[in-house]
Homo-oligomer: A and B are copies of this chain.
Amino acid sequence: MFQSAAKTLSVSRWILLNVRHYCKKKTASTLRVSEALSATEFGEHVKVRGWVRSVRPQKANLFLHVNDGSSLQSLQVFADAQLNDSLLTFGSAVEVTGVLKKSPHHKQSVELEADKIHVVGKCNPLDFPFKIKERHGLEYIRQFPHLRCRTNAFSSLLRIRSEATAAIHSYFKENGFVHIHTPIITSNDCEGAGELFQVEPSWPKTEEQENFFSVPAFLTVSGQLHLEVMSGAFSRVYTFGPTFRAENSQSRRHLAEFYMVEAELSFTQSIEDLTQVMEDMFRSATEHVLAHCAEDVDLFHKHVTPGHRGTLDSMMKKKFPMITYSEAIDILNHSTQKFVFPTNWGCDLQTEHEKYLVKHCGNIPVFVTDYPYDLKPFYARDNQDRPRHTAAAVDLLVPGVGELCGGSLREERLDLLSARLEKVGLEDTYSWYLDLRRFGSVPHGGFGLGFERFLQCILGVDNIKDVIPFARFSHSCVL
């Protein structure tokens, strides 16, 4: 194009034009797609880089959509058909230089009129597992863990996850919590769950060698006990990190590695000190995500999980009700529904029970408090009630997911705690934990929230593997 133009121009004029072009190119500022889309001043010469999400060559013109992950929406690029290139395919990477213009189309407010399109990285459409204009389901894209971020649905999920993470950190920061990095490798198992991963150096161990850490070491199942350490000096602490279960399950509900948000509050008066923070955090993080990722959330609510928006909206409108475990058992026993698992007082609530209770309460989140003492771990605070002996524990059950949060007041009374630990032969193992009660012990409590379940709850996504960047579960640790 430049060459043919040059023929009709004097050499000096041609040089001048090209110098101008060069200068323009030099000063063309590089914009992210989201910045270009929100431009209010037009006519500027800019550069945009990203991946091609659609190509429409027409007789005279060429239309592209370019996305760089900064927003769900792509930037429409409009060019002379001569700028077309056989390498301009779905999935290829491009650098486009041109002028930002107000778009005449109602679907977008801005478009880029290109004077140069450079294919940075090609993408063979036959080999690329995602096809132009096809809507691939979550299950299909799950087969390509190294590529699925290149689909609209999964890139939206990742932006939502990033924003939800930031929202949770903001909530705690604004409310005076200190962020603690609780350890991943630990020599205690917190809940005595048994489903632990053990950690050892990968090099072969000789007979005489002792453990790397001198003691058996595991991947954490909860940062609670370590947060409790901090609760002896800070009235509010939290952690947000990976936790692990060696659960032999490939279900929609379980991962071997998942993220937990855990908080611990000192000087608690009652279980309501916890439920208030749980509900506040849920609402604050959800509102933040809805406000900052509206487009991305809409993609899910419109195309992936239609109908879920109504459920979410009604969750956000009403205060979360609170019932005791004993009331929950009464509700289940008065139900006409037949349950697989027993509903006697003293039995653990199963997912089927949790789902029924949520429905019964109007399909909104519900707190269940005061569980049977014998169902709860050693650290749960004894309510010292009889004949139905309960502990000051609380779960938050939510639509679709079941248990989202679990928490309790912790037994801060040295005599009660050491008696319970002695009973199970753990008073030596947890002598450090008893120390926390020996020196300036205070009433305290805390809770954990399953972060993936929180995302499922907001988005209505059924399978937990679809809300984490890289899913780990039994027989699967790809990449």
Contacts and interface: CB of A to CB of B under 8 A. Distances in A.
A51 B233 CA distance: 7
A182 B440 contact: no
Interface string A190-219: 000011111111110000000011111111
Nearest to A196: B202
A182 B150 contact: no
Contact of A149 (B158, B159, B183, B230): B230
Contact of A439 (B50, B128, B158, B203): B128
Interface string A444-479: 000000000000000000000000111010111111
Nearest to A441: B121
A474 B213 contact: yes
A308 to B, nearest CB: 23
Contacts of A468: 181
A185 B93 contact: no
B212 A202 contact: no
Copy count, this protein chain = 2
Given A69-B234, A234-B155, A92 B440 contact: yes
A257 B235 CA distance: 26
B181 A69 contact: no
A324 B192 CA distance: 53
Contacts of A218: 202
A319 to B, nearest CB: 22
A166 interface: yes
Contacts of A128: 439
Interface residues on A, range: 35 or more
A246 interface: yes
Nearest to A67: B233
Given A158-B230, A198-B202, A185 B440 contact: no
Contacts of A229: 145-147, 149, 479
A412 interface: yes
Interface stretch (A327-335, A337-345, A430-438): A430-438
A435 B124 CA distance: 11
A256 B68 CA distance: 36
Interface stretch (A172-180, A274-282, A283-291, A400-408): A172-180
Given A146-B432, A234-B149, A442-B93, A226 B479 contact: yes
Contacts of A180: 158, 162, 469
Contacts of A70: 176, 234-235
24 contacts: A69-B235, A70-B176, A70-B234, A124-B438, A127-B439, A128-B439, A145-B229, A146-B436, A147-B232, A149-B229, A150-B232, A159-B178, A161-B181, A162-B180, A169-B169, A180-B469, A185-B472, A196-B202, A197-B201, A198-B201, A213-B477, A217-B472, A226-B470, A432-B478
Given A68-B235, A198-B202, A226-B470, 20 more contacts: A49-B235, A49-B442, A69-B234, A69-B235, A93-B442, A120-B267, A123-B440, A150-B440, A155-B233, A159-B178, A161-B181, A162-B179, A196-B201, A197-B200, A200-B200, A201-B246, A212-B246, A212-B248, A212-B474, A213-B474
Interface of A: 32, 34, 49-52, 67-70, 91-93, 95, 120-124, 127-128, 145-147, 149-150, 155, 158-159, 161-162, 165-166, 169, 173, 176, 178-188, 194-203, 212-219, 225-226, 229-230, 232-236, 241-242, 244, 246, 248, 256-257, 259, 266-267, 412, 432-433, 435-443, 468-470, 472, 474-479
